[in-house]
Amino acid sequence: MKLKKIALGTLAVLAIAGTAGWYSLDKETRGLIATVPTNKDLLFWSQPQRDAAFRALDRISLLAKWHDIPAGNAPSALPPGPPLKLPLDVDAYLAGQRSAALIVLHDGKLRLERYGLDFDSKGRWTSFSVAKSITSTLVGAALRDGSIRSMDDKVSDYIPEMKGSAYDDVSIRQLLTMTSGVKWNEDYADPKSDVAQFNNHKPEEGVDALVSYMRKLPREVPAGTRWLYSTGETNLVGILVNRATKKPLATYLSEKIWVPAGMEQKATWILSKTGQEISGCCIQAAPRDFARFGQFILNGATVGGKPIVPEGWLEQATTSRTPIGQSGRGYGYQWWTYDTGAFTARGIFGQGIFIDPKRKLVIASNGDWGGGARDPSASAAREAFYLAVQKAVDDEGAAGAGGGAGK
């Protein structure tokens, strides 16, 4: 495959894969991607650069390498349902979210599907930390398969390079709930934070880049005594699953979920500099397949009526295992939880999969928030949207029940 090199002023040189997929992007998008600096973390790209690149991270060949996640030949149906009647201006909501995609499934039926930012159903948008919840599900699959013996096994049982580090006596359960007690800085606005630095770390010879970085971190408090959000810890989870299953995460995800659960399109997973999927981030998938993953979880992580995780494990994963200092909220096994029984996968810049088992709801969203990675106003608007959808479904149910009683 030939590579074209594009030099633009003082920006770093990019090599762009000359594939049909690359040339399927419009000229303006290709031009914007060509300005993406390879020497700067994506957290600090301009908004136009993010708009262009979030739909094409797996087509910027020197910025990142990736593994394919193959889909099967029998996509699961998403039958249309009646349009969802919402007490809000959906167009205004999409604009405020800078949304690339928004899908609502109710009882397995497609009730709302909208796109923005010149994106559509055939493209792949990056997930950011939505990948954490997918990685967590692979832990459950590895437990059921017997590749992982117990949630109380130590990290160093599977990653011997962590022996002698602060993670030596941390359990898989504590890693999944982010209660390791190890120091970490997840400040997306700080270029010197751990989350901005770890992927640029030069590893020791023969050691995975992430392992090399994480095993040098100090302990702050005893394991199990404090919750602290850490993308690095999810990346350790991914390495652990890789070591346990002896398979690349992309292969394992395809075998356990992507093919049997009926995803429609192949997805991709960005790799670290040492060739390991960055499991706390960066699965590129079609919006409908993100929604299908939510439906798969809503259906109990089952394929053909058979769960891929141990009995009772998914309930533990999707209900609070540790408080996070917010009323009515908690954290499970890489899922954000609500005391109402709903739970969500969340990624920076507006990525999300919200699941409400009580109402049989899945809401999948992709975007590029204009106010930054965590954008508090956009986040609050999204929570309000979830509530509006829940209320609309409740109102439909109440109207249906009232109509039935009157007959």
pLDDT in tens, 210-221: 999 999 999 999
Conformational region of residue 276, where left means phi above 0, alpha means psi within -120 to 50, and beta covers everything else:
beta
How high is the pLDDT of residue 200? 75
Its domain, for residue 346, covers 90-403
Round to whole Å and give the CA distance between 286 and 296: 15
pLDDT digits (tens, 9 = 90+) for 106-116: 999 999 999 99
Q: In this structure, is residue 85 part of a structural domain?
A: no
How high is the pLDDT of residue 44? 85
Q: Does residue 310 or residue 21 have the better pLDDT?
A: 310
Tokens encoding 178: 């982010």
Mean pLDDT of 222-229: 97
Shared domain check, 377 and 234: yes
- Local confidence band at 4 (pLDDT 50, 70, 90 cut-offs): very low
Give the CATH number for residue 166. Answer: 3.40.710.10
- Sign for the pseudo-dihedral over CA of 298, 147, 277, 267: negative
The answer, yes or no, to whether residue 278 has pLDDT greater than 60, is yes
Mean pLDDT of 375-382: 97
Round to whole Å and give the CA distance between 132 and 335: 8
Cβ atoms of 229 and 180 closer than 8 Å: no
Q: Does residue 23 or residue 165 have the better pLDDT?
A: 165
Shared domain check, 179 and 144: yes
Shared domain check, 331 and 184: yes
Shared domain check, 295 and 191: yes
Q: In this structure, is residue 160 part of a structural domain?
A: yes
Shared domain check, 103 and 49: no
Shared domain check, 134 and 251: yes
Shared domain check, 317 and 238: yes
Q: In this structure, is residue 183 part of a structural domain?
A: yes
pTM: 0.92
DSSP 73: S
Mean pLDDT of 63-77: 92
The answer, yes or no, to whether residue 130 has pLDDT greater than 80, is yes
pLDDT averaged over every residue in the chain: 90
Q: In this structure, is residue 72 part of a structural domain?
A: no
Cβ atoms of 234 and 135 closer than 8 Å: yes
The answer, yes or no, to whether residue 366 has pLDDT greater than 70, is yes
Shared domain check, 267 and 153: yes
Q: In this structure, is residue 219 part of a structural domain?
A: yes
Shared domain check, 223 and 340: yes
Shared domain check, 42 and 100: no
Domain count, the chain: 2
Q: In this structure, is residue 81 part of a structural domain?
A: no
How high is the pLDDT of residue 403? 58
Shared domain check, 333 and 252: yes
Q: In this structure, is residue 75 part of a structural domain?
A: no
